[in-house]
Amino acid sequence: MYNYKEIAELLISHGANINEKNNDGKTALHCTAMYNYKEIVELLISHGANINEKDRSEMHY
């Protein structure tokens, strides 16, 4: 099993843009929250993830 938190910490420590969006307009914070990865959500927020960022879902049109 992968240790996703450890991988996220490694990426952040190497300068990964935690607010980068995928093709659906979702950030890492959107994706981790969607899959209930609480520890990674907290990690992203503690490193400045934008909690108000919007994706391209119909809810925001």
Task: Give a yes or no: residue 60 inside a domain.
Answer: no
Task: Give a yes or no: residue 3 inside a domain.
Answer: no
Q: Which domain holds residue 33?
A: 26-54
pTM of the model as a whole: 0.84
On the question of pLDDT at 1 being above 60, the answer is no
- How many domains in the chain? 1
Task: Give a yes or no: residue 11 inside a domain.
Answer: no
Q: What is the spatial distance between Cα 39 and Cα 5, in angstroms, rounded to a whole number?
A: 7
Task: Give a yes or no: residue 5 inside a domain.
Answer: no
Task: Give a yes or no: residue 2 inside a domain.
Answer: no
Task: Give a yes or no: residue 49 inside a domain.
Answer: yes
Q: What is the spatial distance between Cα 21 and Cα 47, in angstroms, rounded to a whole number?
A: 16
Task: Give a yes or no: residue 32 inside a domain.
Answer: yes
What would the pLDDT profile of 34-61 be if each residue is shown by its tens digit?
999 999 999 999 999 999 998 877 654 4
The residue-averaged pLDDT of 3-15 equals: 95
